[in-house]
Amino acid sequence: MNAIAIRDLKLALGGCTILEGVSLDIGSRDFVGVFGPNGSGKTTLMRAILGLISPSIGSICVLGRPAKRGNSSIGYMPQGRETATSIRLRGWDFVASVVNGHRLGLPTLNRAARREVDRVLELVGARELADRPLSELSGGERQRLMLAQTLVGHPTILLLDEPLISLDPRHQGEVVGLVKSLQHEIGATILFSAHDLNPLLGAMDRVLYLGSGKAAIGTVDEVITSPVLSRLYGSDIEVVRLRDRIFVLSGNFDIERHAHRHDHGSKDGTTHRIGVRHV
C-alpha cells in the first residue's frame, strides 16, 4: 500500500490556487525530497496531508484513509520559528510537552511517557541536550530536538518542513544523515522539503518538485531535467551537473529574487537561493 496517495488534487489558500490537478503516489518507506520555489506549495501540501487544509477538489489518502487532522501515524516538523530561541526551558521539557499533549490535566508524565521522551531523544542522538536550556542551543541542536518531537508516538510517516533552513553545510549534512538513518531504523516514509537539492542527493530515493501549481515526482534523473523544471517554473531552466552536484540555473533573475524575499522575509534574500542559481 502506498503511504500517501493524492488524486487530482486542488489546494487553495484564501482564494489563491496553490496546487491544481496534482496526482501522485508516495510509496511506503520512501525518502522523498520536496523542492520548488517559494510559494509553490511545499508547506501547503504538507498541511493538507496533515488534514489542516481541506482539498478544494480531489483527495488525499494517508495509509489508505482520507487525510484527517490528528492522525497519529504522521510526525510533523513545522518550519523552525524564531520564538523558540528565547525559551529557557531545558530540552527534555521541550520534547516532553508533545507527549500526551492532547490530554487535559497537569503536565506531569508517568513512567511510560518519560520512557517515550528518552526513546525519541536517543533516536536523534540528543541525550546530551536534555538538560540544556533551549535558548543556549545552536540552530542544529534545536532542529534535532524538533526532530525528536516529531518521533513521539511511533509515527510511520514523517513530514519535515525545511529542516535545513539556517543551518551551515556541516550541520545540514548531519541532519540529512540523521533523517536517513531514521528512515531505516523506524521504517518511516519521509517527506523532506528543502531549497537546495544537493545536501539530499545521496539520501533521497525520489524527488517531488512543485511549481506553477503543478508537481513532478520521480528519481533525480527523471525530474531534475531542463524540460521538467522549465514546465514547473514557467520559464527556461537549465540544469548543470558539476561533479556530484547539480545546479538549477534560471535566466529570470528578478522574479526569483523577489519570490524568495517575499515568502520568508529573509533579510538579505541570499540564504535560500543556493538551490536555484541565478545567472
Partner 1 sequence: MRNAFAAVTIVAIVAGMVGYFLVLRGQTFAGHALSHVGFTGATGAVLIGLSPLWGLVTMTVAAGIGMGVMGERLVQRDVAIGLVLAFSLGLGLLFLHYFTTYATQATSLLFGNVLAVDAGTIWTLFALSVIAIVALAVISRPLLFVSLQPELADAKGVPPRMYSVMFLAIVALVTAECAQIVGVLLVFALMIGPAAAAQRVTRSVTTGVLLSAGTAAIAAWLGLVLAFYSDWPSSFCIVAIGSAEYLLCCAIAYNRTLAV
List residues binding partner 1 (CB under 8 A): 47, 50-52, 69-70, 72, 74, 76-79, 83-84, 86-90, 92-94, 97-98, 100-108, 131, 133, 146, 149-150
Question: d(Cα 144, Cα 126) in Å, to the nearest integer?
Answer: 7
Closest approach, Cβ 186 to partner 1, in A, equals: 18
Closest approach, Cβ 15 to partner 1, in A, equals: 18
Nearer of residues 5 and 89 to partner 1, judged by Cβ: 89
The residue count of the chain comes to 279
Closest approach, Cβ 205 to partner 1, in A, equals: 24
Nearer of residues 54 and 270 to partner 1, judged by Cβ: 54
Closest approach, Cβ 170 to partner 1, in A, equals: 24
Beta partners for residue 218, in sequence order: 207
Helical (H) or strand (E) element with 183: helix 169-185
Nearer of residues 124 and 276 to partner 1, judged by Cβ: 124
Nearer of residues 100 and 250 to partner 1, judged by Cβ: 100
Closest approach, Cβ 145 to partner 1, in A, equals: 10
Nearer of residues 16 and 104 to partner 1, judged by Cβ: 104
Nearer of residues 90 and 231 to partner 1, judged by Cβ: 90
Closest approach, Cβ 134 to partner 1, in A, equals: 9
Identity (one letter) of the amino acid at 230?
Answer: S
Closest approach, Cβ 69 to partner 1, in A, equals: 5
Residue with cell 535545513: 164
Question: d(Cα 199, Cα 87) in Å, to the nearest integer?
Answer: 30
DSSP state letters, the chain: --SEEEEEEEEEETTEEEEEEEEEEE-TT-EEEEE-STTSSHHHHHHHHTTSS--SEEEEEETTEE--TT-TTEEEEPPP-GGGGG---BHHHHHHTTTTTTS-S-S---HHHHHHHHHHHHHTT-GGGTTSBGGGS-HHHHHHHHHHHHTTT--SEEEE--TTTT--HHHHHHHHHHHHHHHHHTT-EEEEE-S-SGGGTTT-SEEEEEETTEEEEE-HHHHSSHHHHHHHHTS-EEEEEETTEEEEEES-HHHHHHHHHHHH--SSS-TT-SSEEE-
Closest approach, Cβ 76 to partner 1, in A, equals: 5
